[in-house]
Amino acid sequence: MYKIEKENLEALFRKIAESQDLILPIKKAGQTNFGLWNEGEEADLDTLKTVKSGKDAFFPQSETLYTCVRDGKKLTVEPEELRSSPFVVFGMKACDVKGMEVLDKVFLADPIDTFYAARRDHGTIVAMACHEPEESCFCKVFGTDAADPAADVAVWMVEGTLYWKAISEKGQALTEAVKDLLTDADASDEAKVSAEKEAIHNIVEQLPYTHLSLEGWDGNATDEKFNSPVWETLYKPCLACGTCTFVCPTCQCYDIKDYDTGHGVKRYRCWDSCMYSDFTMMAHGNNRTSQMQRFRQRFMHKLVYFPANNNGMYSCVGCGRCVEKCPSSLNIVKVIKAFEKHGGEK
């Protein structure tokens, strides 16, 4: 394990950025989101949750797939180049890293998404333990350890010192590249990190949603949950704004669109939301014609359909962003509790 003082972090960022892109939480206009770090940017490692997760670095909100260029009667198709240079995502929390495992199940399964795979191959994740989890967090429910993130490098901020532990080969390579700025940690430092982990665990245990029960939610609950009358009451405050899907670390739905450049066409993909009435619209219309059906689809996918197809893995990591951001106070916690209250009635 190594360490570096907080006041020297900018030098660390500069060192990393010399050889590869560095993406980390940046504060702009009062909001903190992951973005490309450049000299003078305000890095913000103190905010617990960025507005959106770090999944943008691997699955961008919008990206060009290929371009069709017209030259007279001749048409040329120019595929977008895959990511071929290394980059570092610094400061992802354990829940967001867990979210990457969900995305891996989707994009790295046959047929492999080559755009996503190239970014995963070239990206190194430095994950940061949550110093003080908040009331909206419920990561433990879904098997995430806020105190010990599983990434290429794990870091802890304790009393103005950042402690650094390489975990994977990528993490070891990054550590070697910045080793001149790091100092060896000793036994007393190890003790401080252990105490920090224990303090985080103690906070997590006291959070209001930590002991949320998932009883009855699994891949075998399709008929029971799908046909429950609970949905008819539960969905009504939903505005269909899609906020929950855009802040979610595990949502992976996208649409593919064409843009006329005037001398050709750019085909690109962008995030989409199952909460929208035109989601998966086909020639005959939409197979989910009401907002209740769309609302139900979102939570059935996360709590039933996804675990049914992925060895019991849920498509939620308990980050709590939907708890904080939904303008109607609808979220996955409320859904789970509503079914618990009604006994999951059929």
pLDDT tens per residue across span 309-342 = 999 999 999 999 999 999 999 999 999 999 987 6
pLDDT band at residue 271 under the 50/70/90 scheme? very high
pLDDT tens per residue across span 147-164 = 999 999 999 999 999 999
DSSP string, 294-344: HHHHHHHIIIIIHHHHTTT--S-----HHHHH-TT---HHHHHHHHHHTTT
164: Cβ contacts below 8 Å, ≥ 6 apart: 1, 2, 3, 4, 153, 154, 155, 175, 182
| CA–CA separation, 346 and 343 (whole Å) | 9
What is the reported pLDDT for 285? 61
| CA–CA separation, 303 and 216 (whole Å) | 10
Cα distances (angstroms) measured from residue 20 to each of 13, 23, 118, 318, 319: 10, 10, 15, 31, 28
| CA–CA separation, 211 and 165 (whole Å) | 30
- Give the rounded percent of residues in the chain with a pLDDT score beyond 90: 86
What is the reported pLDDT for 73? 82
Question: Average pLDDT in the 124-150 region?
Answer: 96
pLDDT at 344 over 60: no
H or E element in which residue 103 lies: helix 94-107
What is the reported pLDDT for 54? 94
| CA–CA separation, 6 and 163 (whole Å) | 10
What is the reported pLDDT for 276? 86
